[in-house]
Structure 1
Amino acid sequence: MMPSTDHARSYYRATANALTERPALGADLTADVCVIGGGFTGVNTAIELAQRGLSVILLEARRIGWGASGRNGGQLIRGIGHDVSGFAKYVGEEGVRYLERAGIDSVALVGERIREHNIDCDLRWGFCELANTPAQFAAFKGEQAHLAALGYTHETRLVGPQDMPQVVGSSVYAGGLVDMGSGHLHPLNLVLGEAQLAESLGVRIFEHTEVLELIHGDRVQVRCAGGSVRADHLVLACNAHLEELEPRLSGKVLPAGSYIIATEPLSEAMANQLIPQNLALCDQKVGLDYYRLSADRRLLFGGACHYSGRDPADIAAYMQPKMLKVFPQLAHTAIEFQWGGKIGITANRFPQVGRLKQYPNVFYAQGYSGHGLNVTHWCARLLAEGIHAGHSTGLDIFSQVPHMTFPGGKALRSPLLALGMLWYRLKELMG
Structure 2
Amino acid sequence: MAWQSPIAPGLSWYQASAGERPEYPTLDGSVSADVAIVGGGYTGLQAAYHLATRGVSVVLIEGHRFGDGASGRNGGQLGTGQRAWPDELEEELGYERSKALFDMAENAKQHLLGFADTHGIDMEYMPGQMNVSHKKSYGDDYRRSAEILATRYNYPHVSFMDQAETAERLGSQRYFCGVRDTGTGHIHPLKLLIGLARVAAGSGARIHEMTPATAIRQNGGKTLIDTPRGTITADKVLIATNAYIGNLEPVTAARVMPIRSFIGATVPLDKFPDVIPGSEAVADSRFVVRYFRKSQDGRLLFGGREAYTSDSPRDISTHIRRQIAEIYPSLKDIEMTHAWGGSVGITLPRKPFAREVMPGVTSIGGFSGHGVMLSNYSGKMYADSIAGNSSELDLLKQLKIPPFPGGARLRSPLLFLALTWYALRDRF
* Shorter-normalised TM range: over 0.9
How far apart, in 1, do the equivalents of 2:286 and 2:9 lie? Answer: 29
SS of match in other structure, 1:211 = coil
CA drift at 1:56: 1.1
Aligned equivalent of 1:312: 313
Match of 1:413 among 403, 411, 428: 411
Distance 1:85 1:394 in 2: 21
Partners of 1:236 and 1:425 in 2: how far apart?
Answer: 31
Change (3 A) 1:4 1:428: closer
The residue correspondences of 1:2-17 to structure 2 (distance < 5 A) are: 4=6, 9-17=11-19
Give the superposed CA RMSD. Answer: 2.1
Partners of 1:48 and 1:174 lie apart in 2 by 44
Report the counterpart of residue 45 of structure 2 in structure 1: 43
Aligned counterpart, 2:227: 224
**Which SS does the other structure have where 2:191 is aligned?**
helix
1:6, 1:62 within 8 Å by CA — same for their partners in 2? no
More displaced 10-residue stretch of structure 1: 36-45 or 83-92: 83-92
C-alpha contact (below 8 Å) 2:9/2:312 kept by paired residues: no
**Counterpart AA for 2:288:** G
Conservation of the 8 A alpha-carbon contact between 1:87 and 1:401: no
Distance apart, 1:7 and its partner CA: 8.9
Greater Cα shift, 148-157 or 279-288: 148-157
Give 1:31's match in structure 2, choosing from 21, 30, 33.
33
The whole-number CA distance in structure 2 between the counterparts of 1:84 and 1:28 is 46
Amino acid at match of 1:376: S
SS in 2 for 1:26: coil
Preserved contact between residue 39 and residue 240 of structure 2 (Cα < 8 Å): yes
Deviations 1:57-93 (A, max 9, x none): 1101111111011111111111221356666799664
Structure 1 residues 129 and 155: alpha-carbon distance in aligned structure 2, compared to 1, 3 A threshold: same
Equivalent in the alignment of 1:397: 395
The CA deviation string for residues 136-181 of structure 1, in whole angstroms up to 9 with x for no partner, is: 2321221112211344455322221112243111110112211011
1:265-284 matches, cutoff 5 A: 265-267=268-270, 269-270=271-272, 272-284=273-285
Pick the aligned partner of 1:246 from 249, 253, 259: 249
* Counterpart AA for 1:285: R
Question: Which amino acid in 2 is paired with 1:414?
Answer: S
- Match of 2:115? 113
Aligned counterpart in structure 1 of residue 126 of structure 2, from 109, 117, 124? 124
**Counterparts in 2 of 1:85 and 1:150: CA distance versus 1, 3 Å:** closer
Q: Is the 8 A contact 1:353 1:365 kept in 2?
A: yes
Candidates 248, 254, 258, aligned match of 1:255? 258
| More displaced 10-residue stretch of structure 1: 88-97 or 155-164 | 88-97
User: How far has the Cα of 1:250 moved from its partner?
Assistant: 1.8
Contact 1:286–1:425 (Cα < 8 Å) also in 2: yes
- Paired amino acid for 1:220: T
Instruction: Give the whole-Å Cα distance in 2 for the aligned partners of 1:180 and 1:360.
Output: 43
Q: CA deviation at 1:341?
A: 0.7
| Alignment check: 8 A CA contact 2:10 2:340 kept | yes
**1:299 paired residue number:** 300
Q: Closer, same or farther in 2 for the Cα pair 1:153/1:409, shift >3 Å?
A: closer
Query: Could you tell which deviates more after superposition, 370-379 or 3-12?
Result: 3-12
TM-score by length of 2: 0.93
| Residues in 2 aligned to 1:407 and 1:155: alpha-carbon distance in whole angstroms | 39
Q: In terms of mean alpha carbon deviation, does 237-246 or 79-88 score higher?
A: 79-88
Sort the Cα spacing of 1:125 and 1:171 in 2 relative to 1 into closer, same or farther, 3 A. Answer: same
Q: For residues 129 and 419 of structure 1, do their structure 2 counterparts lie closer, same or farther at Cα, with a shift above 3 Å needed?
A: same
Q: State the distance in 2 between where 1:134 and 1:93 align.
A: 28
Q: Give the CA deviation at 1:427.
A: 3.6
User: How many Å apart are 1:185 and its aligned residue?
Assistant: 0.7
Cα shift at 1:96: 2.4
Partner of 2:79: 77
2-structure distance, mates of 1:94, 1:152: 14
Pair 238,365 (structure 1): closer, same or farther in 2 beyond 3 Å? same
| Mapped partners of 2:9, 2:17: distance in 1 | 12
Match of 2:21 in 1: 19
User: How far apart are 1:8 and its partner, in Å?
Assistant: 5.1
Contact 2:85–2:145 under 8 Å retained in 1 = no
Distance 1:98 1:69 in 2: 25
Deviation at 1:30, TM superposition (A): 1.6
Note if 1:360 corresponds to 2:373. no
Give the match's secondary structure for 2:170: coil
- Would you say how many aligned residue pairs link Structure 1 and Structure 2? 424
Q: Which runs of 5+ in 1 are unaligned?
A: none
Instruction: Classify 1:7/1:18 alpha carbon distance in 2 versus 1 (closer, same or farther; 3 Å).
Output: farther
Partner of 1:192: 194
User: So what's the TM-score if we normalise by structure 1?
Assistant: 0.93
Q: Which whole-Å CA distance do the structure 1 matches of 2:393 and 2:378 have between them?
A: 8
- Structure 2 unaligned blocks of 5 or more: none
Kept in 1: contact 2:146–2:158 (CA 8 A) = yes
Distance, in Å, in 2 between the alignment partners of 1:360 and 1:372 is 26
CA deviation string 1:299-330 (max 9, x = no partner): 10101222233332210112110111011111
